[in-house]
Amino acid sequence: MKEIELTGKKIFWIGCIIFFCALSVRLFYLYESSDNPIFKAPIVDARGYDYIAGTLVQKGKMEDLFFWQQFFYPFFLSIVYFFSGCSIVAAKIVQAVLGSLICVLTFLLARKVFSFRTGIIAGIAVIFYGPLIFHESDLISAGWEALWAVILLWLFLKAANNKQSFSIYVLIGICGAFSTLTRPNFLIFFVAACVWLMIVYCRFKKRILAVNAMAAILVSFAFVVLPVAILNSHITGHFGIMPASGGINLYIGNNPDFDAASIRPGPKWEELTAMPVKYGIKNDMWDKQEFFYDKALRYIVSHPANFLKGLIIKTMQVINSREMPGNVDVYLFRNFSILLRALMWKAGPFGFPFGLILPLSVVGLVYFWRQIPMPMKLFLLIYPLPLVVTHIESRYRIAMIPVLVILAAAGIDTFIKQIKHFRRSMLVAAVMLFVLVLLLSTLPGPFASEKMNYLPELYNSVGATLVSQGKLDEALENYKKAIGFDAKYSEAYYNLGVLYYQQGDKELAMQNYEKALQSEPNDYKSHYNLGVVLCAMGDFESAETHYLEALRLKPDYILVRKALVTDFIRRGELDNAIEQLRQILEIDSGDAETHYQMGMLLVQKNEVAPAIQEFEKTLQLNPDHSDARQILNSLKTILNK
């Protein structure tokens, strides 16, 4: 079809057809996957976004967590929740619409860079790209990342191709800001693309235009990010737009055990996030960020060979044909969708569709190198770099998919042209290149993250979300499913124990804590909770044994020490109770209640002067503590007499 035949009206209607086809596919997926366990019970990052967005809407409170990860997505989710009554289904439908826009913009971008045929192929490919459909349906930012990628590329090409106008530069700045607030990877690409645009203008002796364009871009960029930075400063005390999770993400990918599979949601993640406390860093997330940055950089400097090895492995994961598991394994969700089973699968080490898209995109990249605009080249070169430096899971490369699909469509066009014109040597070279990339992206692995059984973890995480939603019976069923998939899954036994104890069934709680300890003898939380149950059942001697074991495993576990204080007071061993309180205050000197309790015990021992000091510290930390004030006044009166 000749381009001259494609009037603006025809392009509009073709875009509409692509949009409604994409939306139909996505809504059908939402309908048939509504039985999937995380559909209304989001887990891990999605659960965090759901919580902070819901907290803002329901309580009018913006928490520190807004700045723990990227700011844009939870803010977007808050807007959807505000108008939908915190409906998860409504959020998924809105994201299906955004996903459909990605398909239309991919078609338009491919047509602009290559041809109408390439645009149609690319548009259809994105409509049916299984991993993109899956991630768009989850409460995460992956769909927005892909959308910002095509929007920015479109705008930069518009600005460079004699479409200079003030509105273009304003849109570039605004979209660049929002993309950066969605995924920091965009910032490096955005700066590089702006530099390229200025070079283009200067090359054509449009220096004044270059200056004006840069000024408009910077002002509009600042217009978006400055309020976020100020809000961050007001809420967390830190002026900036980058998320506080950057440090821990860098450390996860750069430590002696750098594979992300070693850090799982649950106890291992809690242990990792608590690491700064051992070094005297308390609750400030920015201090923790600096702590993890420092540890990661020390590792990189002291183990350069291992760092380089890690970069190579993570690069192979970025280009791997299979979808790398992270917080979840996307292949598990094929069980809940006929559509997903058709559009995303593995055959041995080969993964579809990325295993087909990548080789085709490389063919398109090589054969159309001169035709491909610089912003697309910059994006493919720059965007993956932060992923390789930190850690990899399949959702992080979603932003690259529209660009790769466009190049893959160009690769298909290459094969069509070589076959049509009987260019045997060119066709053979293209086939060899395709096969080489296919092998390179398929043969490496399986990687550590692919060897794990994610099913028990999935249902355990769903159970935790259901508990937070007050759906306790459903939570029980999910914990039991987790154990059904792994009879030694200690965390599910632990969570069952917690739930049974909350429901008043001490016997079942005890049995599940014991099973958790059979699978994981060093689980300090199970030792502590089993001690609590035994105490409630009157077996104080056995309870103390478990308390002491929990303390041996985790000396800074304050809850255990507080339980021991109660036990020692019950037995009249005040000196032992006071010693435990001293240990607690060494860990957290800002606990007003501990100072108060220490003062009360010192009063019982007739140590008035030290007791007065403890009550004074209590009031310094909590001036409204009326009991401490009353006792302090009485003690001072006695002391004066």
CA distance 407 to 414: 10
Q: From residue 212, how far is each of 172, 191, 359, 378 by CA, in Å?
A: 13, 16, 41, 23
| Residue 218: CB atoms within 10 Å | 14
- Asked if residues 576 and 568 have their Cβ atoms less than 8 Å apart, the reply is yes
CA distance 42 to 68: 18
Indicate whether 283 pLDDT > 80.
no
Ranges 26-30, 268-272, 621-625, 632-636, most confident:
26-30
| Residue 489: CB atoms within 10 Å | 24
For residue 286, the model assigns a pLDDT of: 93
Residues 6+ apart with CB under 8 A from 46: 38, 138, 139, 140
- Of 318, 416, 323, residue with least CA distance to 364: 416
Share of the chain above pLDDT 70, in %: 97
Give pairs for 163-169: CB < 8 Å, separation 24+.
164/209, 164/213, 166/216, 169/212, 169/213, 169/216, 169/217, 169/220
pLDDT tens sequence across 43-91: 989 999 999 999 999 999 898 889 999 999 999 999 999 999 999 999 9
Strands (E), 268-414: 345-347, 350-352
CA distance 180 to 81: 23
For residue 571, the model assigns a pLDDT of: 86
Q: Beta strands 345-347 and 350-352: pairing type?
A: antiparallel
The helix (run of H) or strand (run of E) holding residue 25 is: helix 8-32
For residue 2, the model assigns a pLDDT of: 42
- Of 373, 247, 389, 265, residue with least CA distance to 318: 389
Q: Assign 204 a pLDDT band (cuts: 50, 70, 90).
A: confident
CA distance 20 to 26: 10
Pull the structure tokens for residue 489: 């899954």
- Asked if residues 515 and 74 have their Cβ atoms less than 8 Å apart, the reply is no
Q: Assign 263 a pLDDT band (cuts: 50, 70, 90).
A: low
DSSP at 346: E
pLDDT tens sequence across 439-496: 999 999 899 889 888 999 999 999 999 999 999 999 999 999 999 999 999 999 999 9
pLDDT tens sequence across 334-349: 999 999 999 999 999 9
Q: What is the mean pLDDT of residues 576-584?
A: 91
Amino acid residing at 557: Y
pLDDT higher at 408 or 566: 408
Q: What is the mean pLDDT of residues 189-203?
A: 94
pLDDT tens sequence across 219-254: 999 999 999 999 999 999 999 999 999 999 999 999
Examine residue 375 and say whether the peptide bond preceding it is cis (omega within 30 degrees of 0). no
- Average pLDDT of the chain to the nearest whole number: 91
For residue 162, the model assigns a pLDDT of: 65
Task: Report the interhelical angle of 285-302 vs 246-253 (nearest 10°).
Answer: 30
For residue 3, the model assigns a pLDDT of: 46
CA distance 374 to 362: 16
For residue 61, the model assigns a pLDDT of: 87
Is 145 buried (19+), middle (13-18) or exposed (0-12) by CB count in 10 A? Answer: buried
Q: Residue 352's beta-bridge partner residues? A: 345
For residue 258, the model assigns a pLDDT of: 67
The helix (run of H) or strand (run of E) holding residue 24 is: helix 8-32
Share of the chain above pLDDT 90, in %: 72
Query: SS3 of 601, please?
Result: helix
Query: SS3 of 347, please?
Result: strand
> Minimum mean pLDDT among 110-124, 248-262, 419-433, 623-637: which range?
248-262
Q: Assign 518 a pLDDT band (cuts: 50, 70, 90).
A: very high
Indicate whether 623 pLDDT > 60.
yes
Q: Assign 184 a pLDDT band (cuts: 50, 70, 90).
A: very high
Query: SS3 of 85, please?
Result: coil
pLDDT higher at 413 or 94: 94
CA distance 566 to 183: 48
Torsion of CA 27, 28, 29, 33, to 10 degrees: 110
Q: Assign 1 a pLDDT band (cuts: 50, 70, 90).
A: very low
For residue 261, the model assigns a pLDDT of: 52
CA distance 272 to 295: 12
Q: What is the mean pLDDT of residues 270-291?
A: 84
Residues 6+ apart with CB under 8 A from 524: 549, 550, 553, 554, 557, 560
Indicate whether 4 pLDDT > 50.
no
Predicted model pTM: 0.90
Question: Could you tell me the domains of the chain?
Answer: 453-554 (1.25.40.10), 560-641 (1.25.40.10)
Tokens 């295993």 belong to residue: 355
CA distance 422 to 425: 9
pLDDT higher at 354 or 623: 354
- Of 587, 584, 585, 610, residue with least CA distance to 599: 610
Q: What is the mean pLDDT of residues 107-112?
A: 95
DSSP at 265: T
For residue 525, the model assigns a pLDDT of: 93
Q: What is the mean pLDDT of residues 152-169?
A: 87
CA distance 569 to 597: 11
Q: From residue 435, how far is each of 190, 348, 439, 443 by CA, in Å?
A: 33, 16, 6, 12
Phi, psi of 453 (to 5 degrees): -95, 105
CA distance 408 to 401: 10
| Residue 197: CB atoms within 10 Å | 24
- Of 403, 373, 340, 358, residue with least CA distance to 147: 403
